[in-house]
Amino acid sequence: MKEIYLDNAATTRTSAAAIKAALPYMDSLYGNPSSLHSAGQRAAEALAEARGRIAGRLGCEAREIFFTSGGSEADNQAILSAAAMGARKGKRHIVSTAFEHHAVLHTLEKLRKDGFDITLLPVSERGLVTAKQVEDAIRSDTCLVSVMYANNEIGTVQPIAEIGGVCRDKGVIFHTDGVQAVGHLPIDVKKENIDMLSLSAHKFHGPKGVGALYVRKGIPLATLIEGGAQERGKRAGTENVPAIVGMAAALDEACENMRRATPKLIKLRDRLIDGLSAIPHSVLNGDRDKRLPANVSFCFEGIEGESLLLLLDDKGICASSGSACTSGSLDPSHVLLAIGRVHDIAHGSLRLTLSDENTEEEMEYTIEAVKEVVAYLRGMSPVWRDTTSGKKEFIIK
Ligand SMILES: *Cc1c(COP(=O)(O)O)cnc(C)c1O
């Protein structure tokens, strides 16, 4: 049985182009970019070239790109930097949203314990926040607004340029976690008034454990890792040259493919959404249109997400329930709770995230498989029996 991989929001296959670009930097070109000899200088040149190419894809300057170990580190560094700068001016208020990635939420939680005041904006039932909400939340002591570009569970895309405009007008630093967006949506950090943006290579067919933070020039970055003078003294440690070169190749490829791949992905996505919507007492999570081209997220009443995933895995389908539930935690997803799903419904979630490698046949197979598994699990559920017999009301009509 061929595996059908529908968990591209968790991670993607490293593309052949990324591997090909990275390999020489583990083999013949293994120099340390800090070394003065020619082997080192070749590595330094590769690093500079990768930085320039990534900057070009985002619409910024090479010196505004700082390499990190991935999206989580970039989020941490962005938020802690803005907080440190704010604290120096007596500004200790941060605006963010209830459905950010934990790399953002847990960093904010740490700052809250350090005396920062954190406003987490509520998210609409369709998984969106507005620039007006951000505007109303900004105070004279606000030092940072952090709103994710696209949500990793429900795929909704936020009005980033508008939010950036509000922040620019108010003189507040605007960070966006762009991990799900970079390589998937066209991005121009200058046009969109973004001050800081986090990205991660393994979400766009690059290697794992490498990412970057774009920081608009003039904004001082705090150092999280002390040591050598790499990344202009802001992030010590010998650079992961192969991974960085692979990341640049992957981003080039993703951006070049975008115009062709996006309509294909939207077609596959919409077929899945239509097919799964036919399951009774199911609901799509997140706005139907303002969502990533490759994201499908559903809740099914009377279902326990973990069982659904295991049975789909038996049918060769790699899917996800969203986030926390898959990592063994019994808490329902904070994202699904944020859009107003009650606990029982949030537990019955399914996230299918596509890539250019998926096919129409795979979508048809997946629709039938989900229908079958949902019917099977409902057939075994005493709660479902109570609901269908009228003892309990349906939550999803
Ligand atoms: C995956 C992800 C991260 C974390 O990125 P890593 O590179 O895995 O650390 C952060 N934010 C979002 C939205 C993500 O999807």
**Do residues 245 and 367 both lie within one domain?**
no
**Do residues 182 and 226 both lie within one domain?**
yes
Q: Which of 253, 270, 297 is the last residue of a domain?
A: 253
CA of 11 to the centre of ligand 1 (A): 9
User: Domain holding 113: CATH number?
Assistant: 3.40.640.10
**Do residues 177 and 30 both lie within one domain?**
yes
User: Domain holding 351: CATH number?
Assistant: 3.90.1150.10
What domain range is 78 assigned to?
16-253
> What is the model's pLDDT at position 328?
55
CA of 102 to the centre of ligand 1 (A): 9
CA of 182 to the centre of ligand 1 (A): 11
> What is the model's pLDDT at position 153?
98
72 CB near ligand 1 (under 6 Å): yes
Is 287 inside any structural domain?
yes
Q: What is the C-alpha to C-alpha distance for residues 134 and 174, in angstroms, rounded to an integer? A: 11
Atom number, ligand 1, closest to the C-alpha of residue 202: 7
Q: Which of 220, 236, 253 is the last residue of a domain?
A: 253
Q: What is the C-alpha to C-alpha distance for residues 147 and 338, in angstroms, rounded to an integer? A: 14
Q: In tens digits, what is the pLDDT along the chain, a chain of 397 residues?
A: 789 999 999 999 999 999 999 999 999 999 999 999 999 999 999 999 999 999 999 999 999 999 999 999 999 999 999 999 999 999 999 999 999 999 999 999 999 999 999 999 999 999 999 999 999 999 999 999 999 999 999 999 999 999 999 999 999 999 999 999 999 999 999 999 999 999 999 999 999 999 999 999 999 999 999 999 999 999 999 999 999 999 999 999 999 999 999 999 999 999 999 999 999 999 999 999 999 999 999 999 999 999 999 999 999 999 998 765 445 567 889 999 999 999 999 999 999 999 999 999 999 999 999 999 999 999 999 889 888 888 888 999 8
**Do residues 245 and 306 both lie within one domain?**
no
> What is the model's pLDDT at position 326?
47
Output the CA torsion sign for 335, 337, 343, 345.
Answer: negative
Structure-block tokens of residue 309: 């995933």
Is 91 inside any structural domain?
yes
**Do residues 243 and 299 both lie within one domain?**
no
**Do residues 157 and 196 both lie within one domain?**
yes
76 CB near ligand 1 (under 6 Å): no
Is 218 inside any structural domain?
yes
353 CB near ligand 1 (under 6 Å): no
**Do residues 113 and 53 both lie within one domain?**
yes
Beta strand 142-146 with 173-177 is: parallel
**Do residues 208 and 304 both lie within one domain?**
no
> What is the model's pLDDT at position 54?
98
Is 397 inside any structural domain?
no
Helix (H, G, I), strand (E, B) or coil at 385: helix
Q: Which of 193, 221, 253 is the last residue of a domain?
A: 253
For residue 16, give the nearest of 376, 356, 396 by alpha carbon. 356
Is 393 inside any structural domain?
no
C-beta atoms surrounding 134 within 10 Å? 28
Residue 190 Cα to chain centre, angstroms: 20
Sequential DSSP letters for 249-309 = HHHHHHHHHHHHHHHHHHHHHHHHHHHHHTSTTEEE-S-SSSB-TTEEEEEETT--HHHHH
**Does the active-site annotation cover 255?**
no
**Do residues 247 and 269 both lie within one domain?**
no
7 CB near ligand 1 (under 6 Å): no
> What is the model's pLDDT at position 233?
93
**Do residues 273 and 212 both lie within one domain?**
no
Is 396 inside any structural domain?
no
Q: How many domains does the chain have?
A: 2
**Do residues 61 and 150 both lie within one domain?**
yes
Specify the pTM. Answer: 0.96
**Do residues 327 and 374 both lie within one domain?**
yes
